[in-house]
Amino acid sequence: MVNKIRFERDNVIRVASQLFWQKGFYATSTRDLQEAVNMRPGSIYAAFGSKEGLYSESLKDYTVQMKSQIEGFLSSADSVLGGLRAFVENVVIETKDCCPSAICMLVKANSEFSEKHSRLYTLSVELAAEFESYLTQLFEQAINNGELNNTLTGLEYARFFQVQFTGLRGYFNRPNVDKLAQPMINQMFMLMKTL
C-alpha cells in the first residue's frame, strides 16, 4: 500500500509539474490543478500543504528529471561532451514539441517570482545553483579527460553551457527556424572547445 501511495504522489507531482511548467505558478489556478491531477482541493492541501507546497515539489522533481535525462545520455556516450550534445539535441530538436514550454522550468521560476513569494524564489535559485554545481562537475570531468582546455574552470564552462542552452531553447520556439538547430548546436560545441 505504501508503494501505491508513493507512486500516486510521484504521479501527481509529475502531472502538476507539467502544468506549472506550461502556465507558471500564478497562472495555474487551484481548479486547473484539481482537474489535471484528479484530486479535490482538500486532498491537494492535505498531501502538499498548499499550492506552493505542490509547486515546490514539482520544481524539485523537474530538477531531478533533468539530471536523470542527462545521466541517461552520458551513459550511452563515449565522452562527457558527447552526452551533453545528445542531451541538447534531444531537447532542442527531437522532443521540443513535447515540452510544455520552450523555457526551462527553473529559468521560468527564477523570472516569475518576486519578494512576495520569496520562499519560491529562494527555492528556484537554490535548485538552479544545485544544477549548476552538477554541470560544473561534468565539465571538470571533461577537462580532466582532455575534452576541453583547462584555460577555464568547470564552473565557467557550466555557465557558458547554461547561457547557450537557454538561448537555443528560446530561439527555437520561433517558427521556421528548425533547419538552423543542428548547425547552431554544432557551433555551440565547437565554440566551447576554443574557449
User: Does 72 reside within a domain?
Assistant: yes
Give the model's confidence band at 128: pLDDT under 50 very low, under 70 low, under 90 confident, else very high.
very high
Residue 13 lies in a domain: no
Question: Distance between the two ends of the chain, CA-based, in angstroms?
Answer: 54
Residue 148, domain member (yes or no):
yes
Contact 161, 143 (CB under 8 A): no
pLDDT at 2: 42
Distance of alpha carbon 141 from the chain centroid:
21
Per residue, the 3-state secondary structure of the chain, as one string, reads: CHHHHHHHHHHHHHHHHHHHHHHCCCCCCHHHHHHHHCCCHHHHHHHHCCHHHHHHHHHHHHHHHHHHHHHHHHHCCCCHHHHHHHHHHHHHHHCHHHCCCCCCHHHHHHHHCCHHHHHHHHHHHHHHHHHHHHHHHHHHHHHHCCCCCCCCCHHHHHHHHHHHHHHHHHHCCCCCCHHHHHHHHHHHHHHHHHC
CATH of the domain at 109: 1.10.357
User: Domain of 90?
Assistant: 59-194
- Lowest mean pLDDT segment, chosen from 3-17, 75-89, 139-153, 178-192: 3-17
Q: Is residue 11 assigned to a domain?
A: no
Nearest CA to 181 out of 77, 96, 70 is that of 96
Give domain status of residue 184, yes or no: yes
Predicted TM-score (pTM) of the model is 0.87
Q: Is residue 117 part of a domain?
A: yes
Q: Which of 76, 66, 78, 96 is nearest to 182 (CA)?
A: 96
Mean pLDDT over 109-121 rounds to: 81
Q: Let me know if residue 23 belongs to a domain.
A: no
47 vs 131, more confident = 131
| pLDDT tens-place string over residues 50-88 | 899 999 999 999 999 999 999 999 999 999 999 999 999
Domain annotation covers residue 168? yes
Mean pLDDT is highest, among 31-40, 96-105, 125-134, for 125-134
What's the total number of domains in the chain?
A: 1
Give the model's confidence band at 100: pLDDT under 50 very low, under 70 low, under 90 confident, else very high.
low
